[in-house]
Amino acid sequence: MEDKKLTIALAGNPNSGKTTVFNNLTGSRQHVGNYPGVTVEKKEGFVNYRDYRITVVDLPGTYSLTAHSQDEIVARNFIVGEKSDVVIDIIDSSNLERNLYLAVQIMELGVPLILALNMSDLAEKKGLKINPEKLGALLGVPVVMTIATKNIAMKELLDKAIELYERKHPLERPSIRYGREVEKQLNLLEEAISPYKNITDSYSARWIALKLLEQDAEVIKMAESSPEGQKILKSAETASLYLRRIYGDDPEVVIAERRYGFISGACDEAVKKNFELRHDISDMIDMVLLNRLLGLPIFLVLLWITFKMVFYVSEPFMKALEIVVAAIGQWVGGMLPQGSALQSLIVEGVIGGVGSVLVFLPVIYILYFALAILEDTGYMARAAFLMDKFMHKIGLHGRSFIPMILGFGCSLPGIMATRTIEDENDRLTTLLVVPFMSCGARLPIYILFIGAFFPEEWAGNVLFSIYVVGIIVAIVLGKVFRKYLFKGQTGPFVMELPPYRMPTMKALLIHMAERGGLYLKKAGTIIFAGCVIMWFLSNFPWNPRYAKDYDALIQKAEGNAEVVSKWEREKAMEKMEKSYAGILGRILAPAFRPLGFRDWRLGVGLIGGVFAKEIVVGTLGTLYATGDTEAEGDQSLRKALKRAKRSDGTPYYTPLVAYSVMIFCLLYLPCLATLAVIRKETNSWRWPAFTFFYTISVAWVISFMVYQGGVLLGLG
Ligand code: GDP
Ligand code: MG
């Protein structure tokens, strides 16, 4: 006898145990390929059970079935395209309500469905007592409690699937009521849709109507392709407008709320909660921290305190390190032959360059420690939750917010954190704007210029304004990218809020060390290399052809220390101007002039910043240390910047120029390491190349506006 055929699709949220169930069911008989036309992985396996040959398909994990992401489209098309006979939704029952959101959407598709309440062991541990019969009766679907890791109730899943498949009449299912107003509009739309048999062939009119109100991109695209579809779209728009006026919110939000309401109602009936105390406390804390009015202000204050603390706590460590680095420079410099290239390389290039970067290590470590506290306590998830609505308004994903906050520490972890964003458009947008969040490496530049050109009582505000400019640019560009470059819907953001936890010191230290280690590694590799290259460029050719015979002049002035040092300074100055860096600086000068950057040495410093932003300060230190080779830390560099004058005696730098410099440093291309990570994360050269050019353009334009605007206002 020929085996009967049955195809089962496994749907479910990511990490609900789909793959574990899949492996249990199919053993080793599997096949991995791609869904036709897309790069989403497709896993297929077979099992012979009773008199059936069953094909099991592991669908991509999704939270929803609205066409917001590639995965969701693939999953939905597979389910609706009648490629599966029965869908088994694998549910993480320890997160029952959230997981049921997908189940409800599958139910609405009207396909045969079984719920596998997986991880029932975890649910039990969490104090949830689920009554599967009751839940099944409420939802109108068979429910099986499973523990995939222990291979429990897997056969039962197959039995239920066959039973459902062989049933003549579909199970009676309750349908969700979306409230009077929404239902009224749904009915109107259904009426508009039902005459078109070609549409209602594979989807019910109600489902299409619902999807149109939910702004489902695929359904809209489908409708756009025919004249009757376009008419329906018009009616859908009218309905949406009407609902928006009534509810003051998008219909999709109202619909989602209703679904959750339905789920919550069903769970109230079928689940007995015996929550741990921790959950009650979490709920109480959330009442305050997630409060409609207080939530955002509290968040901003917490962030402000965090940054304040970071700088306050790290100050003494930084001071100490500065002294240590200077001492090492002097000590090592003394052991090397005076005036030799080797001494210059080690003292100015390596110790001066890398050392000036390591000085900022305490700030970085303490910042990471603070961020780890916010994350490990569970607060960061709340911050993203709070920001979601706002981010949505500006067209960004709520989940974009965490990578952006991490970008304050360093763009690298920020960019890597974009992996948590499922939607590719949202991910790329976020990834491209994270570098505008001012990272720790840029801090030295600000501190240098603010210290030199702004009164102390202004320092804090100026610094804050730079960070704010970065955030604004990130948000504006994010919006622009989303609109023109990565078109499409912004995915809804359903994030479970983990209970608050007291973080363990060990976990905090591990997190801090992991991220701090990245910074250290950067200092040891790319910053080291960059400093050496910049040192080489600004010191070679080692013996240029001088305009004057300085050695003779110095010899003649023997004994007169003042004259000797004057000649020595002049010689060093000329040597620098004739170095490769000097030549480069002059070539670039016209490009920088409109921004108010008139000193070629600054241009060279900015080139150095391409390796890593820290190198800007290191390079300026080398270039402005006219004549004397002793490293004196940035205190003297500040003075040197103030002293720097053009030949007509006007100073190179004013507060306006300094501000323009800081804005430029904030925005112009992220360091090489960031470009490399962008390359790795996007798996293409296109995005790092794009980032390279667009950040420079943005930086140039905004600095131009700042400087020229300032000049017009008479601030120059
Ligand atoms: P998928 O993303 O849905 O494919 O989920 P996986 O099958 O990869 O499972 C995610 C994690 O949950 C794995 O570490 C599994 O070992 C674990 N897991 C799966 N099912 C169960 C279960 O019933 N109980 C428990 N405690 N863990 C499970
Ligand atoms: Mg999987």
Residue whose C-alpha is closest to residue 527's, from 421, 651, 662, 671: 671
Determine the pLDDT at residue 294: 85
Determine the pLDDT at residue 213: 93
Determine the pLDDT at residue 1: 55
Q: Which ligand is nearest to the CA of 62?
A: 1
pLDDT tens-digit readout, 653-693 = 999 999 999 999 999 988 777 888 888 888 889 999 999 99
Q: Are 239 and 189 in contact (CB under 8 A)?
A: yes
Taking the C-alpha atoms of residue 425 and residue 21, their distance in angstroms, rounded to an integer, is: 30
User: Phi-psi category of 454—alpha, beta or left, where left has phi over 0 and alpha has psi -120 to 50?
Assistant: beta
Distance 501 CA to ligand 2 centre (A): 28
Determine the pLDDT at residue 492: 55
Distance 95 CA to ligand 1 centre (A): 13
Q: Which ligand is nearest to the CA of 147?
A: 1
Residue 506 to residues 376, 417, 440, 471, 692, Cα–Cα distance (Å): 11, 22, 24, 32, 39
For residue 555, the surrounding DSSP H or E stretch is helix 550-556
Residue whose C-alpha is closest to residue 467's, from 262, 282, 265, 306: 306
Determine the pLDDT at residue 627: 42
- Tracing tokens 């909660």 back to the chain, one arrives at 273
Determine the pLDDT at residue 475: 86
- Tracing tokens 């730079």 back to the chain, one arrives at 466
Residue whose C-alpha is closest to residue 171's, from 118, 103, 107: 107
Q: Locate 69 and state its tokens.
A: 């992401």
Question: Measured from the CB, is residue 20 less than 6 Å from ligand 1?
Answer: yes
What is the torsional sign of CA 192, 195, 200, 205? positive
Q: Locate 214 and state its tokens.
A: 């939910």
pTM comes to 0.54
Burial code (b: 16+ CB inside 10 Å, e: under 16) for 220-242 equals: beebeeeeebeebbebbeebbee
Taking the C-alpha atoms of residue 444 and residue 450, their distance in angstroms, rounded to an integer, is: 10
Residue whose C-alpha is closest to residue 273's, from 264, 260, 285: 264
The number of CA neighbours under 13 Å toward the Cβ of 113 is 26
- What residues in the chain have per-residue pLDDT under 50? 277, 626-635
Domains of the chain, first to last: 4-166 (3.40.50.300), 180-278 (1.10.287.1770), 295-444+455-485 (no CATH), 523-712 (no CATH)
Question: Measured from the CB, is residue 147 less than 6 Å from ligand 1?
Answer: yes
- The preferred substitution site among 149, 150, 154 for testing ligand 1, maximizing ligand atoms within 8 Å of CB, is 149
Question: Measured from the CB, is residue 13 less than 6 Å from ligand 1?
Answer: no
Residues in the chain: 716
Q: Are 412 and 673 in contact (CB under 8 A)?
A: yes
Distance 26 CA to ligand 1 centre (A): 16
Q: Give the nearest ligand 1 atom to 12 CA.
A: 3
Residue whose C-alpha is closest to residue 419's, from 229, 677, 621: 677
Task: Give Cβ neighbours of residue 350 (< 8 Å, ≥ 6 apart).
Answer: 528, 531, 532, 535
Which of helix, strand or coil describes residue 10?
strand
The radius of gyration computed from the CA coordinates of the chain, to the nearest angstrom, equals: 32
Taking the C-alpha atoms of residue 180 and residue 159, their distance in angstroms, rounded to an integer, is: 40
Query: DSSP characters for 187-208?
Result: HHHHHHHTT-HHHHTTS-HHHH
CA quadruple 414, 417, 421, 426: dihedral, nearest 10: 20
Question: Measured from the CB, is residue 414 less than 6 Å from ligand 1?
Answer: no
Determine the pLDDT at residue 74: 86
Q: Are 416 and 398 in contact (CB under 8 A)?
A: no
Residue whose C-alpha is closest to residue 576's, from 624, 513, 645: 624
- Tracing tokens 């590694």 back to the chain, one arrives at 521
Beta bridge partners of 97: none
Residue 141: what are its φ and ψ, rounded to 5°?
-140, 150
Taking the C-alpha atoms of residue 64 and residue 102, their distance in angstroms, rounded to an integer, is: 5
Q: Are 386 and 290 in contact (CB under 8 A)?
A: yes
